[in-house]
Chains A and B, each alone.
Chain A
Amino acid sequence: MTYLKPLFRHPKLPKNKLGYTLKEYEGTISTLCAGCGHDSISATIVQACFELSIEPHLVAKISGIGCSSKTPAYFLGNSHGFNSVHGRMPSVATGANLANKNMVYFGVSGDGDTASIGMGQFVHVIRRNLNMVYVVMNNGCYGLTKGQDSATADVGSASKSGHINPFQPVDLASLAVELGATFVAQSFSGDKQQLVPLIKAAIQHKGLAFINVMSPCVTFNNNPGSTKSYDYVREHMQATGTLDFVPEREAIKAEYAAGTDTAVSLHDGTVMRLHKLAPEWNPEDRLSAVNAMQQARAKNEILTGLLYINTEFGDLHDILNTSDGAFNTLGEKALCPGEEQLQVINAGLR
């Protein structure tokens, strides 16, 4: 079942640089449970793309299987989506990105989709530094199959049925840093203020931008004892800092106390301003990021914000030295060596 949203638009809705209102970035009405954290994340993606004035049709949304992977239908209705197979979003995104490097790629996945069945592809898409935003909507459980523990459920965490998870969790953000991801962030679906600028920065980052978003499952994992519940996450969030995304040539309006600001220049000339709350943490230093994450983990805290960024490393297209246009626009002239060349090849085989 799919619901369509009413076409009525308020005449005074604010417009972005392209003349689009937020409506042009919305999708169909969600069929997820009321209060699902995933819907909040969809809304932040809509907001981030609207604010960045991205052409919606130049975005591709690719997902695997699960509640999270359904969400691409619920945001950016003017963008093509590909709801592929379980755990294999990264490979489909890799192929799509190779075909046309001039689009924005959103990979949407969940904790089952990424940390279990798709772990191999998660690892390798990071290695390749594919230019995409990789969002994990992490709720610590399998929602669509009614609440089984996932690989990100914490040890001792209780499910709705009271079952206590006996296994160590997979910490996706730490793992991403360890694997050499060039942009790693962590956030909470209930913290739109933090998430919107993070997604904007992730879009502008050239390379793989991984965002692990705690997104409580209201139906199966929002109970006392779950470390992925709204209450637990709210109480144990520890922000690395606030983040302002400042597109190039725009006045920086926010003011920061001296000595706590970090400006990070992104590939396209835009600048990210980070206001640090944790003085010992430096987002461009991998060791410092790993240290901060491990310390938070030891305290059962969830470190949020931009954890690590590296703007030096080229993306997969840079590594493969691909031509500037999109492959899907190349015709016979660029692709086919022709009959004359074939005769030369034949001659070499005689």
Chain B
Amino acid sequence: MSMTQAIPRPRARINNFVARFANVNGTGSASANFLFAKAIFRMGIPVTPKNIFPSNIQGLPTWYEVRVSEKGYLGRREGIDLLVAVNAQSMKQDIESVRKGGYLVYDSTKKLSPDLIREDIHYLGIPMMELANENFSNPRQRQLFKNIIYVGALSVLLQIEFEVLESLLKEQFAGKEKLIAPNITAIKLGMDYVREHFDYPLDFYLERRDLVRDKIMVDGNTACGLGAVYGGATVMAWYPITPSTSVAEAYEKFASQYRIDPQTGKHHYAVVQAEDELAAMGMVIGANWNGARALTATSGPGVSLMNEFIGLAYFAEVPAVLIDVQRAGPSTGMPTRTQQSDITLAAYASHGDTKHPLLFPASPEECFRMTADCFDLADRLQTPVILMTDLDLGMNDHMSEPFQWDENRKYDRGKVLNKEELEDMGRYGRYLDTEGDGIPYRTYPGTHPSKGAFTTRGTSRDEYAVYTEDSAAYKRNMDRLQTKWETAKKIVPAPSLYQESNQSEIGMLFFGTSTYSSEEAKDILEEKEIQLDAIRIKAFPFGTETEAFIRSHKLVFIIEQNRDGQLRSLIINEMQMNPKKLVSVLNYDGMPITADNIVLQISDYLKQKNAVPHDLSETLI
């Protein structure tokens, strides 16, 4: 308390701060930290937790960052208002990360070394280990409850309602009721210590609101797994890789709940942990070829390995669904950090002329819906469709619109001939474009005793699936695939426009997890009287709306989380846009992009003389 008095207290802020927890990996801090975030969510206040974790199981530093935003901004924000430092390894760095005038909550069981004292922050020492040792006998419990003690302390400092914590603990330990009482004890130990030793609440704190409404809090990977179950996938083939592993785990969890035959107890699904990503993709292609819906989930290194198979599925026209939970590359890169850096890899995966539809979800609700949609798209287009999510969206809990499903929705299996249709037609041509949309008719193996059989192959063939090296037949086929690509443009999800008509000659364009911070940046810039029009891309190939947006602005900032401006390259390449008018706003340090970063880059650019190229009129573009 004495330490805090020297620094003047700023004006109180309500529901607007960033708290960070510095823990040691594998010490049970995750559930305590989640309890903290979930309690704020339950108080009706928008909250975004993010795990910043090492590629390690036990012993290395890990952080949990919680942003609270009354305005509902869910992107990461820089500047830490409160840091709970319980990791000696990273203590120095952690203390340096606190913003001027911020707070450090630490375990005062041991005295803090003088070189860790900063004059411009507040120190709140709580003897967490001492309290845990005095009140609990089991060594593991002492470790775990130390974490719960700081949650209790924060609940007083920040005004988290005790009843909310209590009910969350009761839900968490339903079935293990014995654990509820010691958890409550630990909460109260923290609460009492703060009440006896410090002024409270801090100059930023929480107040109950009704801003969460019917929203849910869930991670994107869980949503993808659930979307695959709802979308009708029966085969999930996968190979373990961070950060995508939990997609397969979620699929299996939900399938084991909802896909059991009530009569026999047998499974309407199969999960195969493959020997590598190549085999995982091979299984997906084999299953889809034979008429089942199948998917795999991986990250960049896995997509690299799958390239050959993706090319096969493109050329042989076999549907496949791939979920790419992107992480920081290249190579093994930073396996536990986020990026949007597989865009060009995924868009043009495999040798020869290939290109693949990509979907860009920005929330768990979209992860759910778009995963299910991927199956319809893959079946309609008879080609691999890739859902481009990332570690930030996949592994962090996000406040999201609730999941919804139209009860009358039917799976769109695309053009598939059944036995009667084969019977009634003349000669069946697997690769005949009978409707001019580039999409030919499939038929599943085993459909008809004497009609429809052919050899699916990665080699060139004619319209009747007969092997050929005839140049004209090869070219006709490649041109039909291009026609199919044009069809894809019309059926992939359209972008979201943030204005009914253009308000500015400058635009901003973003996708996926860059959305949160981009929306916030747009508001901040508006406050600074910089008006920008905005568009969020939801799919590749780009449709007419995206093209019109870019054409009708003199300057477009393209916000993405990679070094090379990969989406910008796609835009230039696919729509022949003038590169001069497309300005990259990038973040590629492995951390989620922040609004401040975007604002800084955009305003710096606009400060340049002639930032908006007046010579680029619409007709020139």
A residues sitting closer than 8 Å to B (CB atoms) are 1-2, 24, 55-58, 60-62, 72-73, 77-85, 88, 90-100, 102-103, 120-121, 123-124, 128, 316-317, 320-324, 326-328, 330-332, 334-339, 341-342, 345-346, 349-350
Interface hits, B445-479 → A, CB 8 Å = 445-450, 453-459, 466-469
A84 with B282: CB separation less than 8 A: yes
A95 with B456: CB separation less than 8 A: no
Interface hits, B55-81 → A, CB 8 Å = none
* Sample of 28 A–B contacts (CB below 8 Å): A57-B446, A57-B449, A60-B445, A73-B455, A81-B453, A84-B285, A84-B458, A85-B309, A90-B279, A91-B278, A91-B280, A91-B282, A95-B285, A95-B290, A98-B294, A99-B290, A100-B290, A100-B292, A121-B282, A128-B272, A320-B267, A321-B266, A335-B259, A337-B254, A338-B407, A339-B407, A350-B42, A350-B217
Please give the distance in Å from B175's CB to the nearest CB on chain A.
14
- B274 lies within 8 A of chain A by Cβ: yes
B residues sitting closer than 8 Å to A (CB atoms) are 42, 214-218, 226, 229-230, 232, 234-235, 237, 254, 257-259, 261, 264-272, 274-276, 278-292, 294, 308-309, 312, 316, 402-407, 409-411, 444-450, 453-459, 466-469
User: Most B CB atoms within 10 A — which of A2, A88, A128, A326?
Assistant: A88
B275 with A121: CB separation less than 8 A: yes
B283 with A95: CB separation less than 8 A: yes
Given A82-B456, A98-B235, A336-B230: A2 and B466 interface contact (C-beta under 8 Å): yes
Given A91-B283, A124-B279, A346-B216: A327 and B235 interface contact (C-beta under 8 Å): yes
Contacts of A336 in B (CB 8 A): 229-230, 232, 405, 409
B455 with A82: CB separation less than 8 A: yes
Please give the distance in Å from B215's CB to the nearest CB on chain A.
8
Alpha-carbon gap, A88 to B216, bound state (A): 42
Please give the distance in Å from B521's CB to the nearest CB on chain A.
28
Please give the distance in Å from A73's CB to the nearest CB on chain B.
5
Given A60-B445, A121-B279, A323-B261: A95 and B454 interface contact (C-beta under 8 Å): no
5 more A-B residue pairs beyond the given contacts A60-B446, A124-B274, with a C-beta to C-beta distance below 8 A: A91-B283, A94-B283, A98-B234, A330-B232, A339-B406
Contacts of B217 in A (CB 8 A): 349-350
B403 with A346: CB separation less than 8 A: yes
Which of A83, A123, A330 has a CB less than 8 Å from the CB of B459?
A83
A323 with B454: CB separation less than 8 A: no
Alpha-carbon gap, A95 to B312, bound state (A): 15
Alpha-carbon gap, A24 to B453, bound state (A): 12
B258 with A341: CB separation less than 8 A: yes
Contacts of B272 in A (CB 8 A): 94, 98, 128, 316, 320
Contacts of A335 in B (CB 8 A): 229, 232, 234, 259, 268, 411
Contacts of A128 in B (CB 8 A): 272
Please give the distance in Å from A245's CB to the nearest CB on chain B.
24
A99 with B294: CB separation less than 8 A: yes
Contacts of A96 in B (CB 8 A): 286-287, 289-290, 445
Which of A77, A82, A327 has a CB less than 8 Å from the CB of B268?
A327
Contacts of A346 in B (CB 8 A): 214, 216, 402-403
Please give the distance in Å from A119's CB to the nearest CB on chain B.
11
Look across to chain A and name the residue whose beta carbon is closest to the beta carbon of B219. Answer: A349
Please give the distance in Å from B454's CB to the nearest CB on chain A.
7
Contacts of B218 in A (CB 8 A): 349
Alpha-carbon gap, A342 to B216, bound state (A): 12
Look across to chain B and name the residue whose beta carbon is closest to the beta carbon of A4. Answer: B466
Contacts of A330 in B (CB 8 A): 232, 234, 268
Contacts of B230 in A (CB 8 A): 336-337, 342
Alpha-carbon gap, A2 to B216, bound state (A): 58
Look across to chain B and name the residue whose beta carbon is closest to the beta carbon of A123. Answer: B275
Which of A80, A97, A341, A345 has a CB less than 8 Å from the CB of B446?
A80
Contacts of B258 in A (CB 8 A): 337, 341
Contacts of A102 in B (CB 8 A): 446
Which of A83, A84, A98, A332 has a CB less than 8 Å from the CB of B292?
A98
Given A91-B282, A92-B286, A100-B290: A334 and B449 interface contact (C-beta under 8 Å): no
Contacts of A337 in B (CB 8 A): 229-230, 254, 257-258
Alpha-carbon gap, A98 to B449, bound state (A): 21
A103 with B446: CB separation less than 8 A: yes
Alpha-carbon gap, A77 to B465, bound state (A): 13
Which of A73, A91, A320 has a CB less than 8 Å from the CB of B270?
A320
User: Most B CB atoms within 10 A — which of A120, A334, A349?
Assistant: A349
Please give the distance in Å from A41's CB to the nearest CB on chain B.
17
Alpha-carbon gap, A34 to B346, bound state (A): 44
